[in-house]
Chains A and B, each alone.
Chain A
Amino acid sequence: MLELSVTLPAVRRRVMVMFFFIIMAVAVLIGRLGWLQIIRSEELYEAAWEQWNRSIPARSPRGTIYDREGRMLAGSSTVDTVVAIPAQIEDPVKTAKLLAPVLEMKEEELLEKLTMNLSAIYLKRKVTPETSQAVRELELPGIIFTTEGQRFYPNGTLASQLLGFVGMDEGLAGLEVYYEEQLKGKEGYLLFPSDNLNRPIPHEIKRFVPPKEGMDLYLTIDETVQYIVERELARAMIEFQPKAVMAIAADPRTGAILAAASKPDYDPLHYEKYDSKYWALPPITSSFEPGSTFKLITLCAAVEEGLYNEQEYYFCRGFASVGGHNIHCWTGSGHGSISYLQAVESSCNPAFINLGQRLGEEKLFRYIRAFGFGKPTGIDYPGESGGVVFEDEQLGPVELATTAFGQGVSVTPLQQLMAVSAIANGGKLMKPYLVEKICNAEGEVVYERKPELVRQVISRSTAERVARIMESVTLNGSGKNAAIEGYRIATKTGTAQKPGPRGGYIPGEYIVSMIGFVPVEDPQIVLYVAVDGASRGPQWGSQLGAPLFRRIMVDVLNYLQVPPSEKPAAPAEPVEVPELRGLTVDEAAARVDTAGLMLRLIGEGQYIVNQTPKAGATVSRQTQVVVYLGDEEAFSRSSITVPDLSGFTVKDVGQVLNWLGLYLEAEGSGIALRQEPAAGSRVEKGNVIKVFFGSPLEQ
């Protein structure tokens, strides 16, 4: 018999060893537990969530767009989207029947969605709070909500072409698409636990991971300047009845764009109802022949090269012969003997052809390219046009001659604005920009734009000399109607013919423009305006572009509190109103233009039959002379055709109706927007015409 002898110490040792191993095993298990629960907890938790849960994306509100003063131009709020989880729906037919009237959808369409083999499906996106509440009250199983961003433009159509618009999920035009990455934010989720058949797990809690808001843009645009610009553009649309009008303003010292707009425009919340051609921003995306405003580039080049002398005389015969072609001056009959200063003031084409010939092809086009023409400026806006200038191999004497006075080249208003900014700021071509800074959702600045110098194109002395010449255009030339008492203003008008689809130009169709900056001694704002295809009024820069330029500038200078010039030109002397009765529109326009007055037309006909103020009256410059077009018997007939009164003030409307033997019933204040009976109606003398007056933007 084997005798086993185990002593107590030995037993204790074995017990100790066992304990040690057990403790070690427990320690390892605790360590592993700690590793899983503490170190890898987050990662495993997320992995588990993905297995247990179904998710529905919750889109973030887009970042807000503010103007330079922090005023909201575009904001976002969150709205509900109705979602169905088909596996959770107990009675799809009943659910579809109940939801159809609330969601304003067809029952069949809903039923199809409710029975789809999907974990979740959108039923209707971005519903109104009322619809959302109505669906909630139905308490239907399997019908849940997620949130999505809804764009909001507090100023309606203001700056719509600049801001762009947003589709269902992303920016589709303007700054909304250019800065999509910054604005869009980060998606969140609505999570709900479910089994592998997407059935809900009882007593489990739905979890909402809120989306992260996009970044905010702070623009260089000033809301008030933009409003002034758009209001005056809207007024020009009513007064001149053109195809389109546009304007763009900038700070010439930095290249920061203060306002940019064109009319007609669109409502960004209902963009689909408008023709897509209105979505673009023509001052940046459209290029066309500049006309006489381009003469400033030729002038800069000639001054810089020492080829221009204000006192030198030139004889304008009304045309210049170049390469076997006669290129005509806009006057037709010619300016006669004029100094080169007067050539700029009166915008003489042959004189500028002569300057172009002095410069030669190489030098003139070197300056044109140096000023940034022929390629995009690089502004932060989608679809910028680069314009077209002749290539070296295309150049001949005719191309040189036409380019010298602004024909044959195609440029954008923005390019012209930057070129004139260079004249204003001492010769520096600046890169234009629209976004000043970008802030994240926490308000921290993540990007800040600094003014960027492209190059020095002309010397400071040349820039100052050209600015003085432009000032004399305002004082003595075609810019008289843009003058503002107390300020030194540099301007240049332009009237460009519109090219036709089959080559050549469209007869009688012009783009009338004006460009300039204020004040000459310390330029703070540079502005370009253009009226495309006006159907009412003489198509002259001085008669359409200048008053539009002036109206905008007066309010902008007041708003920006730009102090008046220390040494402004002496106030213009009052002028005598010329006799206009019996004249055609063009003849009358020439007379009022020479006098520094403005012509406004009412009625239809070839000849002027009446005018106010009367001939011989002494009035201040820039006074509007309203003339009635028609035949001699217009006022003596008992039956009258009601004229189109839109765009006229109460005073003018009252005067015209008085001529016609009609009475005015005025409502509101501002300019005439609507009238009853409509223009063209036949009424008997003594009838009352009801006219609604208001802000041009109300129309």
Chain B
Amino acid sequence: MLQARNILTDHRPVHLPQEQPAGKASRVRERRLLGLRSMPFLLLAGCFLLGLVIIAQYSSMVSLHYRIARAEEKISALQEEYRQLEQEAARLSSLARIEMIARSELGMQEPESGQVRILTAGRGGASAAGE
């Protein structure tokens, strides 16, 4: 038990095998060991970065959402303005209004019977008809 604790709490520096000119296998082993040791840090860093990316994207989505909402509101307002203008144009161009202006403001009136004559051009020419 004590021995085990000693082993677990052994803070003596671990003496890595001395590099030997012909120890290619041991170099590979060393690199793997280094890789294994750094893996948790890499994973943590990766998770952290991933989290940052997700948060950034979420933030961007929220920001876009607000922009879309504002754009939708603007579209809605513009559509409403278009509708109002379309109705105003329809009201102003209503035939009853035009006839009323023609009569009351411009003093126009229908021709009396006999005031309009029908002229017919020669064959192949234009014809005009009226009351």
The count of residues in chain B whose C-beta lies closer than 8 Å to any C-beta of chain A is 50
**A223 / chain B contacts, CB cutoff of 8 Å:** 95
The stretch that binds B, out of A3-11, A112-120, A293-301, is: A3-11
- Report B94 CB to chain A, min CB distance, Å: 5
- In the complex, per-residue mask of B1-24: 1 if CB is within 8 Å of any chain A CB, else 0: 111100110000010000000000
Q: What's the Cα separation between A210 and B39 when bound, in Å?
A: 52
Is B122 in the interface zone, CB < 8 Å from A?
Answer: no
Q: Specify the chain B residue showing the minimal Cβ separation from A26.
A: B47
Q: Is the CB of A695 within 8 A of B8?
A: no
B129 contacts A485, CB within 8 Å?
A: yes
Taking a contact as CB atoms under 8 Å apart, the answer to whether A77 and B129 are in contact is no
Report whether B108 and A695 are in contact in the complex, using a CB–CB cutoff of 8 Å.
no
Q: Which residues of A contact B36 (CB under 8 A)?
A: 12, 16
In the complex, whether A595 has a CB less than 8 A from a CB of chain B is: no
Given A72-B86, A77-B84, A154-B90: A227 in contact with B100 (beta carbons within 8 A): no
Asked, given contacts A30-B50, A210-B72, whether A695 binds B1 with beta carbons under 8 Å apart, the answer is no
CA distance A224 to B95 in the complex (A): 7
How far, in Å, is A158 (CB) from chain B's closest CB?
7
- Which of A2, A23, A231, A623 contacts B43, CB < 8 Å? A23
A122 contacts the other chain (CB 8 A): no
Please indicate the chain A residues that have their CB under 8 angstroms from the CB of B110 in the complex.
Answer: 669-670
Which of chain B's residues have a CB closer than 8 A to the CB of A16? Answer: 36
Query: By the criterion CB–CB under 8 Å, are B127 and A563 in contact?
Result: yes
- Pairwise interchain contact B4-A669, C-beta atoms closer than 8 A: no
Number of A-B contacts (CB under 8 A): 122
In the complex, are the beta carbons of B87 and A77 less than 8 A apart?
yes
Q: Interface digits, B88-131 against A, CB 8 Å rule (1 contact, 0 not)?
A: 01110111100110011001111011100010100000010111
User: Contact check: which of B94, B100, B112 meets A695 at CB < 8 Å?
Assistant: B100
What is the size, in residues, of chain A's interface with B at 8 Å between Cβ atoms?
59
Q: Do the beta carbons of B4 and A6 come within 8 Å of each other? A: yes
Within 8 A of B (CB), among A198-232: 207-208, 210, 213, 223-224, 227, 231
Tell me whether B120 and A564 are in contact (CB under 8 A).
yes
Assembly CA distance A695 to B104 (angstroms):
10
Residues of A within 8 A of B84 (CB): 77
A669-B96 in contact given A75-B90, A78-B80, A620-B114 (Cβ < 8 Å): no
Q: Which residue of A lies closest to B76 (CB)?
A: A210
The residues of A that contact B72 with a CB separation of less than 8 Å are 210
Tell which of B1, B40, B104, B131 touches A1, judged by Cβ atoms closer than 8 Å: B1
Q: Which of A64, A486, A670 contacts B120 (CB 8 A)?
A: A486
A506 CB–B CB distance under 8 Å = no
Would you give the 0/1 interface string for A35-78, flagging 1 where the beta carbon is closer than 8 Å to chain B? Answer: 00100000000000000000000000100100000011001111
| Nearest-neighbor residue (CB-CB) of A651 within chain B | B112
Shortest beta-carbon distance from B103 to chain A in Å: 5
Interface residues in B33-47 (C-beta closer than 8 Å to A): 36, 39-40, 43, 47
Choose among A227, A557, A649 the residue that contacts B95 (Cβ–Cβ < 8 A). Answer: A227
Q: Could you list 6 further interchain pairs (A-B, Cβ under 8 angstroms) beyond the known A3-B3, A23-B43, A156-B96?
A: A1-B1, A72-B90, A154-B87, A156-B94, A227-B96, A563-B127
26 A-B contact pairs sorted by A residue (CB < 8 Å)? A3-B1, A4-B1, A12-B36, A19-B43, A64-B86, A155-B95, A155-B96, A158-B94, A158-B95, A207-B69, A210-B72, A223-B95, A224-B95, A486-B127, A487-B129, A554-B130, A558-B130, A563-B127, A564-B118, A564-B120, A651-B112, A669-B108, A669-B110, A670-B103, A697-B99, A698-B96
Chain A residues proximal to chain B, CB less than 8 Å:
1-6, 8, 11-12, 16, 19, 23, 26, 30, 37, 61, 64, 71-72, 75-78, 152, 154-156, 158, 207-208, 210, 213, 223-224, 227, 231, 484-487, 554-555, 557-558, 563-564, 620, 622-624, 649, 651, 668-670, 694-695, 697-698
Of all A-B residue pairs in the complex, the 9 with the closest CB atoms, nearest first, are A154-B90, A669-B109, A72-B90, A4-B4, A154-B91, A486-B129, A227-B95, A210-B76, A554-B131
